[in-house]
Amino acid sequence: MSKQFIINGNSIQDIASFYEEINRLFMADEDWKIGNSLDAFNDLLYGGFGALRNVDSAEIVWLSIDKSSEALGIATTRNYYMDKLKPDSPFNKKHFEEELVRLENGTGETYFDTIIEIIREHPNLTLVGYISEG
Protein backbone atom coordinates (compact mmCIF):
# COMPACT_ATOMS: atom_id res chain seq x y z
CA MET A 1 0.00 0.00 0.00
CA SER A 2 1.39 3.43 -0.99
CA LYS A 3 0.64 6.65 0.87
CA GLN A 4 1.39 10.32 0.51
CA PHE A 5 2.52 12.58 3.34
CA ILE A 6 2.71 16.36 3.07
CA ILE A 7 5.23 18.26 5.18
CA ASN A 8 4.27 21.91 5.65
CA GLY A 9 7.61 23.67 5.40
CA ASN A 10 6.05 26.92 6.59
CA SER A 11 5.62 25.27 10.00
CA ILE A 12 9.34 24.66 10.38
CA GLN A 13 11.41 27.40 11.98
CA ASP A 14 13.95 25.31 13.89
CA ILE A 15 14.81 21.75 14.89
CA ALA A 16 12.04 21.49 17.50
CA SER A 17 9.36 22.61 15.04
CA PHE A 18 10.65 20.12 12.45
CA TYR A 19 9.96 17.30 14.89
CA GLU A 20 6.59 18.79 15.80
CA GLU A 21 5.67 18.65 12.11
CA ILE A 22 7.01 15.10 11.76
CA ASN A 23 5.07 13.95 14.82
CA ARG A 24 1.91 15.66 13.53
CA LEU A 25 2.27 13.88 10.23
CA PHE A 26 3.52 10.45 11.18
CA MET A 27 2.62 9.92 14.84
CA ALA A 28 -0.91 11.38 15.13
CA ASP A 29 -2.48 7.99 15.93
CA GLU A 30 0.17 6.95 18.43
CA ASP A 31 0.09 7.72 22.14
CA TRP A 32 3.75 8.73 22.07
CA LYS A 33 5.96 10.93 19.89
CA ILE A 34 9.50 10.62 18.55
CA GLY A 35 12.08 12.83 20.21
CA ASN A 36 14.23 15.49 18.59
CA SER A 37 16.71 12.99 17.22
CA LEU A 38 17.97 12.19 13.75
CA ASP A 39 18.26 8.54 14.80
CA ALA A 40 14.59 8.54 15.88
CA PHE A 41 13.59 10.14 12.58
CA ASN A 42 15.53 7.48 10.68
CA ASP A 43 13.91 4.73 12.75
CA LEU A 44 10.46 6.18 12.02
CA LEU A 45 11.10 5.97 8.28
CA TYR A 46 11.65 2.21 8.48
CA GLY A 47 7.90 1.97 8.96
CA GLY A 48 7.45 -0.26 11.98
CA PHE A 49 5.22 2.24 13.77
CA GLY A 50 3.19 5.40 13.26
CA ALA A 51 1.58 6.27 9.94
CA LEU A 52 4.25 4.31 8.04
CA ARG A 53 3.32 1.02 9.73
CA ASN A 54 2.45 -1.53 7.01
CA VAL A 55 3.12 0.98 4.23
CA ASP A 56 5.07 -0.51 1.32
CA SER A 57 5.99 2.80 -0.26
CA ALA A 58 5.32 6.44 0.39
CA GLU A 59 5.73 9.80 -1.24
CA ILE A 60 6.82 12.64 1.00
CA VAL A 61 5.77 15.97 -0.45
CA TRP A 62 7.62 18.83 1.22
CA LEU A 63 5.90 22.16 0.63
CA SER A 64 8.03 25.31 0.99
CA ILE A 65 11.13 23.13 1.14
CA ASP A 66 13.26 26.23 0.59
CA LYS A 67 11.99 27.78 3.83
CA SER A 68 12.77 24.57 5.71
CA SER A 69 16.22 24.45 4.15
CA GLU A 70 16.91 27.97 5.38
CA ALA A 71 15.39 27.34 8.83
CA LEU A 72 17.50 24.19 9.28
CA GLY A 73 20.55 25.66 7.60
CA ILE A 74 23.95 26.85 8.73
CA ALA A 75 22.92 28.96 11.74
CA THR A 76 20.66 26.24 13.17
CA THR A 77 23.26 23.57 12.52
CA ARG A 78 25.97 25.66 14.18
CA ASN A 79 23.77 26.03 17.28
CA TYR A 80 23.04 22.30 17.24
CA TYR A 81 26.78 21.51 17.20
CA MET A 82 27.54 24.10 19.88
CA ASP A 83 24.92 22.47 22.11
CA LYS A 84 26.62 19.10 21.61
CA LEU A 85 29.95 20.72 22.63
CA LYS A 86 28.77 22.08 25.98
CA PRO A 87 30.94 20.96 28.92
CA ASP A 88 28.24 18.71 30.40
CA SER A 89 27.28 17.17 27.05
CA PRO A 90 27.57 13.37 26.89
CA PHE A 91 28.17 13.43 23.14
CA ASN A 92 31.38 12.71 21.22
CA LYS A 93 32.86 16.20 21.30
CA LYS A 94 35.65 15.40 18.83
CA HIS A 95 33.06 14.33 16.25
CA PHE A 96 31.01 17.50 16.68
CA GLU A 97 34.11 19.71 16.68
CA GLU A 98 35.07 18.20 13.31
CA GLU A 99 31.53 18.65 11.98
CA LEU A 100 31.53 22.29 13.10
CA VAL A 101 34.85 22.93 11.32
CA ARG A 102 33.45 21.38 8.11
CA LEU A 103 30.30 23.47 8.40
CA GLU A 104 32.33 26.66 8.90
CA ASN A 105 34.55 25.75 5.93
CA GLY A 106 31.51 25.27 3.70
CA THR A 107 32.14 21.54 3.22
CA GLY A 108 29.85 20.17 5.93
CA GLU A 109 26.20 19.23 5.88
CA THR A 110 23.49 21.29 7.46
CA TYR A 111 20.81 19.70 9.64
CA PHE A 112 18.50 19.98 6.63
CA ASP A 113 21.03 18.21 4.38
CA THR A 114 21.21 15.36 6.87
CA ILE A 115 17.41 15.03 6.96
CA ILE A 116 17.29 14.83 3.16
CA GLU A 117 20.07 12.24 3.14
CA ILE A 118 18.18 10.12 5.70
CA ILE A 119 15.01 10.22 3.60
CA ARG A 120 16.92 9.26 0.44
CA GLU A 121 18.49 6.27 2.20
CA HIS A 122 15.04 4.66 2.35
CA PRO A 123 14.33 3.15 -1.09
CA ASN A 124 10.62 2.83 -0.34
CA LEU A 125 10.30 6.61 0.04
CA THR A 126 10.14 9.26 -2.67
CA LEU A 127 10.76 12.89 -1.80
CA VAL A 128 9.16 15.68 -3.79
CA GLY A 129 9.96 19.24 -2.76
CA TYR A 130 8.20 22.41 -3.76
CA ILE A 131 9.61 25.88 -3.27
CA SER A 132 7.52 28.71 -1.89
CA GLU A 133 5.46 30.82 -4.22
CA GLY A 134 6.12 34.49 -4.32
**Tens digit of pLDDT for each residue in 83-120?**
999 999 999 999 999 999 999 999 999 999 999 999 99
Specify the pLDDT at position 1.
59
Q: Are 34 and 22 in contact (CB under 8 A)?
A: yes
Query: For domain 2-73+110-130, which architecture applies?
Result: 2-Layer Sandwich (3.30)
pLDDT at 134: 55
pTM, two decimal places = 0.94
Please report how many Cα atoms fall inside a 13 Å half-sphere around the Cα of residue 67, on the Cβ side: 17
Query: Could you count the other beta carbons within 10 Å of the beta carbon of residue 31?
Result: 5
Report whether 13 contacts 76 (CB < 8 A). no
Task: Write down the domain spans for the chain.
Answer: 2-73+110-130
Instruction: Please check whether residue 25 is in contact with residue 51, taking contact to mean a CB–CB distance below 8 angstroms.
Output: yes
- The residues of the chain scoring below 70 in pLDDT are 1, 133-134
